[in-house]
Structure 1
Amino acid sequence: MKRLRCVVFASSLKHGGRCIVAKDFDSKKWFRFVSDEKGSAIPYEKAMFYNELYKKSYPLIPLKVVSFPIDSESPILGQPENVILGDASINQVEPFVINDISSFLDNPDDLWGNGDCVPDKDVSTITQSIYLIKPENATLESEINAFDGKTKRYVSFKYNMIDYKLSCTDPKFDSLLKENFSVKALCISLGENFNGYHYKIVASVL
């Protein structure tokens, strides 16, 4: 089975599981790990990495360097980076963790245009659906949705002179909001088709 040494940049909340995105350590190519050809989430129990030193498994978190088992490539419309995660364990490998992400940053002109989503009819030409960017004036915000009473989590920021306010699925969001975290980078992912649109999502706050 093929393996990839990658830096994890997000293990975010997705439909009762996790959306795991990572960059190849050497080539800097993006991968989104899914559980099937439909792009389904990775179950919580599989979103773990094995530490050989301690002989234990731990939840995947950003900036860990791990070896992913790959079953097959499985791109879908709007998400060309999708690969199906293999059944073998995800293993932590050297250098174990990174602290300097500068060489992994992306520099797109914009985040798939303005606004918080892309119409399904416009995603056929998208060749990259994940970005790691350095935003300006990023702030974390939460508010209660008037229709369903649920808490909605957002990150507002500016990138290349464009203002964005995007939903955030980082599981650490609430704790980061409480500690007034200073945002250094954001991992942005384009979601699957939802009612004719692909929403831009902040998958992790770094």
Structure 2
Amino acid sequence: MPCPAPCPLSGRQDLSPSTPALPPGLADRGGWLSDTRRFVLVHCVTFSDAAKASAPGGRMTQFQRLVCLANSRKGGGRCVAGVLVDSGEWVRPVSARINHEISRQERQYKDGSDPRVLDIIDVPLLHHQPSCYQSENWLLDPRSHWQRAGRAEWSQLLTMEQHPDSLWINGHSTPGRLNDRIPIEETETLPDSLKLIRVSRITLRAPTPRAGSDDAKRPLDAVFRHAGRLYIMRVTDPEYEQPHVNNPRRVHELGESFVTVSLGEEFKGYAYKLAASITERARIEAGSKT
């Protein structure tokens, strides 16, 4: 089903040359972005020789630095998303394929390793390519390697936390879940499709195995409250999905965590809310995500 209508994108900033300003709340956080912002000014905004990569169709490649906040499963590839360090805007790099998933080859670092949540990454982008409510989409340059520039910490996540009154539109649920989908015709006025929220606790719930079923394909659900509402939605974070689905325990309790919630592309008349990434405070402070 095609998009119901072009989404209004008023107010969205372009990534073309300009004088970047730090987002509110970041300037007084200890200067962790100072070197990063300097890199963006020199290598991205002014298009230095190092950043002038030849791209398909003669389009200019822009290396943009972001904090990776999701590297989630999407079909045979991944959906990667993050927040730009110089503006605080969300960016979702997408491929030119029909489902926009990113292959391992397209997203890997030069050493062949895969980006991880909280990596600070320089990503090669060609141009803004919004798709309905997914206003954050940017077409990536598949010929250039992604570059790891560092790691973010819990304190940096706090500066990027969002406080929406609700996760878009509620009141529509799949069997066994709650507030996890939106009829596609109601998405026309939605301005975005990514949120970074913090929850005090989260429950991961794996379904009871069925005779003859393929455990690897069974979904894992996240149960949490945000702004006074209960949500139950599918988890697509591979760092949690497979370990917990294959664990004999069916329920797993996590403490304070950040959740990257993504509104996926239309599927059978609905846009589904997905827990694309879970970042536990306890794991970060224990050093298990470094």
Q: Does TM, normalized by the shorter one, top 0.5? A: yes
The answer for unaligned runs of 5 or more in structure 2 is 1-60, 171-178, 280-290
- Looking at structure 1, the residues matched to 220 and 244 of structure 2 have their Cα atoms a distance apart, in angstroms, of 12
Call closer, same or farther: CA 1:144–1:91 in 2, change over 3 Å. same
1:159 aligns with 2:214: no
Q: How big is the shift at 1:187?
A: 0.3
CA contact (8 A) 2:201 2:257 kept: no
Q: Which moved more, 1:131-140 or 1:141-150?
A: 141-150
User: Relative to 1, partners in 2 of residues 1:155 and 1:204: Cα closer, same or farther, differing over 3 Å?
Assistant: same
* 3-state secondary structure, aligned to 2:159: helix
- Given the superposition, is the C-alpha separation of residues 117 and 58 from structure 1 closer, same or farther in structure 2, using an over 3 Å criterion? same
Q: TM-score, normalised by structure 1?
A: 0.89
Mapped to 2, the partners of 1:144 and 1:74 lie a distance apart of 40
Conserved 8 A contact 1:120-1:197:
yes
The answer as to whether partners of 1:145 and 1:152 remain within 8 angstroms in 2 is: no
The answer as to whether partners of 1:20 and 1:33 remain within 8 angstroms in 2 is yes
| 1:181 CA displacement | 4.4
2:158 maps to 1:102 = yes
* Deviation by residue 1:28-77 (Cα, 9 ceiling, x = unmatched): 10011110274510012222123xxxxx2311110000100001211111
Identity across matched positions, percent: 27
| Residue matched to 2:42 | none
2:102 maps to what in 1?
A: 42
RMSD: 2.1
1:164/1:40 CA distance change after superposition, 3 Å: same
Q: Distance in 2 between matches of 1:81 and 1:128?
A: 7
| Corresponding residue to 1:33 among 93, 100, 109 | 93
* Higher RCO structure (Cα 8 Å, ≥6 apart): 1
More strand by share: 1
Tell me the equivalent position of 1:53: none
Q: Which residue of 1 aligns with 2:261?
A: 188
Amino acid at match of 1:168: V
Aligned counterparts of 1:92 and 1:156: Cα–Cα separation in 2? 32
Amino acid at match of 2:94: V
Deviations 1:124-165 (CA, angstroms, capped at 9, x unpaired): 111121000002431111114769934111100000000000
Match of 1:131 among 179, 182, 195: 195
User: How many residues were matched structurally?
Assistant: 199
Structure 1 CA distance, aligned partners of 2:211 and 2:128?
39
C-alpha separation in 2, matches of 1:75 and 1:202: 21
- For 2:114 and 2:256, the matched residues in 1 are separated by 22
Deviations, residues 91-144 of structure 1 (Å, cap 9, x unaligned): 112xx0011210111111110122111111111111121000002431111114
The residue type equivalent to 2:218 in the other structure is T
Q: Tell me the secondary structure at the aligned position of residue 59 of structure 1.
A: coil
For structure 1, list consecutive stretches of 5 or more residues without a partner in the other structure.
Answer: 51-55
Question: Which consecutive aligned stretches of 4+ in structure 1 deviate over 4 angstroms post-superposition?
Answer: 144-148, 176-181
**What is residue 205 of structure 2 aligned with on the other side?**
141
Of the candidates 272, 278, 287, which is equivalent to residue 199 of structure 1? 272
Instruction: Answer with 1 or 2: which has the greater Rg.
Output: 2
Matched AA of 1:60: P
Amino acid at match of 1:4: Q
Partner of 2:125: 70
On the 8 A contact 1:154/1:165 being kept in 2, the answer is yes
Give 2:80's match in structure 1, choosing from 20, 29, 32.
20
Distance 1:140 1:21 in 2: 22
TM-score normalised to structure 2 length: 0.64
Instruction: Assess if the C-alpha contact under 8 Å between 2:202 and 2:254 holds in 1.
Output: no
Determine the C-alpha separation between the residues in 2 that align with 1:14 and 1:107: 26
